[in-house]
Amino acid sequence: MSKIVGRFAPSPTGLLHLGGARTALFTWLYSKSLGGDCLLRLEDTDAERSEQKYTDSIINSFKWMGIEFDQEPVYQSRNKDNHLDKAQELVNKGKAYYCDCSPERLKKIREEQQKKREKPKYDGKCRELGLEKGPNTVIRFKNPESGSVTFKDLVRGQMEVANKELDDLILVRSDGSPTYNLCVVVDDLDMNISHVVRGDDHINNTFRQINIFKALEESVPIYGHVPMILGEDGKRMSKRHGAVNVLDYKDLGVLPEAFLNYIVRLGWSYGDQEMFELKELIQIFKDGKLNNSPASFSYEKLLWFNREYFLKMENKTLLELLVPTSKQFKQDDYSAKVINLIKERCSLLSEFENEGSYFYDDSVVVDSKDASKVFTEQAVTILKFLVEGFKELTNWQVEDIKSLFNEVMEKNEVGMASVGKPLRLAITGRMNSASVDETSLVLGQEKVIKRVEDVIKSYS
């Protein structure tokens, strides 16, 4: 068997979105899991809409994701001469022809076909005229008139369409520019592409491209078409469903490992397993199942994956991600303890700064509404018992702090909520936080005593 070579071929007319990232990941993993290569081709023939900023963003998205293609990117626009040579080869073989039908005539044909509820297609007027190249001629592909095009899709199984359903599509426009389907076939040949995994919106193009491969007497790649991704409302993914640019997820604070793990599960499965490392995926992807029904995007599920990766990550590694942009975290034991305590409460890197802020503030600010609800006369009395107990503790350990809580509850004949709620608000300024005993431990004896005493002074 010849070497496996896959490719991802985005158009740099926009940013890389989640659907494109998933297709790229599937293509890359499939090629790698078969021991092959995967290449990046930038289909930049739309000169008016293709921009360098989009190319840069696409490449940077893959760098963030950890996807490394096996060669430098291929630019489709640089292969124009070869595209045109192959079109001429088809003309010379009698597999394509020049057509001089005017736009007005083509429009009239389409309108008449639509009136008859027929599928709009070229009527073949110039097919056998043997016209020469002229100032307004195009090159059309001479699509077979009988038989059918068949291929076995990696995702959908056997696919077939009758040739009579296909058109004599234009290969080269009157201005001398090659069209999409010709460029793709020629580039795939030049890059020795053996496998093409792409979105199912390309299925109709695949039938046409297979016929062009055959007309050139070349081997046809193996194709797989993955279904679209739907939003949580069951409609096709769009801007309203969340971030569009892959790098938006980076800016939000999603880890690349979590992003990859999430998108690989949008249409691919390996038994009941949910969590995968990239090295593992490279080994097993070919053995998993590509699903033929659309996957649904869930922002909450993405956040779940991200949080799971936080919990698995070493605190030191997490700090390495946070410290460069943080005003509070440092590479020290105190920050490591804070991170360890709050990471199960964070779903994004961007949430750590706020979630951990009260560990670094000199004092906490308590919302007046929360204070009026929580710091009742009984609560202040309980805080007084607590602060006296805190001062007497010689060992500042969780077990000792918990024992003090139990003593105060017993003396005041109250439950844990009556002790924990006012203490939490006093030392964090929040109604919700990590466990109050662990929080007290990390804050330290001195800070806890001071904050509780400040509240007692303000609300006695």
User: Which pLDDT tens digit goes with each residue over 30-57?
Assistant: 999 999 999 999 999 888 888 899 999 9
Confidence of residue 10 (pLDDT cuts 50, 70, 90): very high
Confidence of residue 342 (pLDDT cuts 50, 70, 90): very high
Residue 151 pLDDT more than 80?
Answer: yes
Residue 234 pLDDT more than 80?
Answer: no
Give 416-435 pLDDT, tens digit per residue.
Answer: 999 999 999 999 999 999 99
Average pLDDT over the chain, rounded to an integer: 94
Using alpha carbons, list the distances in angstroms from residue 154 to 33, 212, 264, 394, 405. 14, 21, 16, 68, 62
Rounded mean pLDDT, 306-333:
95
Please tell me the predicted confidence (pLDDT) of residue 460.
Answer: 80
Rounded mean pLDDT, 102-131:
92
Residue 237 pLDDT more than 80?
Answer: no
Confidence of residue 312 (pLDDT cuts 50, 70, 90): very high
First and final C-alpha spacing in the chain: 83
Max Cα–Cα distance, the chain, nearest Å:
105
Please tell me the predicted confidence (pLDDT) of residue 241.
Answer: 57
Q: E-strand spans in 50-172?
A: 74-75, 96-99, 138-141, 148-153, 157-162, 170-172
Please tell me the predicted confidence (pLDDT) of residue 289.
Answer: 94
Residue 1 pLDDT more than 70?
Answer: no
Give 259-291 pLDDT, tens digit per residue.
Answer: 999 999 999 999 999 999 999 999 999 999 999
Q: Give backbone dihedrals phi and psi of 227, rounded to 5 degrees, phi first.
A: -65, 165
Confidence of residue 363 (pLDDT cuts 50, 70, 90): confident
- HSE value, Cβ hemisphere, 13 Å, CA-based, for 275: 9
d(CA 95, CA 189): 18
CATH topology of domain 368-459: Arc Repressor Mutant, subunit A (1.10.10)
Of 226, 330, 313, the residue nearest 18 (C-alpha): 226
Residue 238 pLDDT more than 80?
Answer: no
Residue 243 pLDDT more than 60?
Answer: no
Please tell me the predicted confidence (pLDDT) of residue 48.
Answer: 82
Please tell me the predicted confidence (pLDDT) of residue 46.
Answer: 85
Residue 60 pLDDT more than 60?
Answer: yes
Q: What does DSSP assign to residue 236?
A: B
Q: What does DSSP assign to residue 360?
A: T
Q: Which residue has the higher pLDDT, 312 or 243?
A: 312
Residue 137 pLDDT more than 60?
Answer: yes
Q: Which residue has the higher pLDDT, 458 or 2?
A: 458
Task: State the amino acid at position 1 in one-letter form.
Answer: M
Please tell me the predicted confidence (pLDDT) of residue 47.
Answer: 80
Rounded mean pLDDT, 446-450:
95
d(CA 346, CA 63): 25
Q: E-strand spans in 30-131?
A: 37-42, 74-75, 96-99
Give 158-194 pLDDT, tens digit per residue.
Answer: 999 999 999 999 999 999 999 999 999 999 999 999 9
Q: Give backbone dihedrals phi and psi of 117, rounded to 5 degrees, phi first.
A: 60, 35
Lowest-pLDDT range of 117-121, 179-183, 338-342? 117-121
Tokens read off for 369: 């509404």
Residue 115 pLDDT more than 80?
Answer: yes
Q: Which residue has the higher pLDDT, 379 or 234?
A: 379
Are 455 and 400 contacting, i.e. CB atoms less than 8 angstroms apart?
A: no
Please tell me the predicted confidence (pLDDT) of residue 232.
Answer: 78
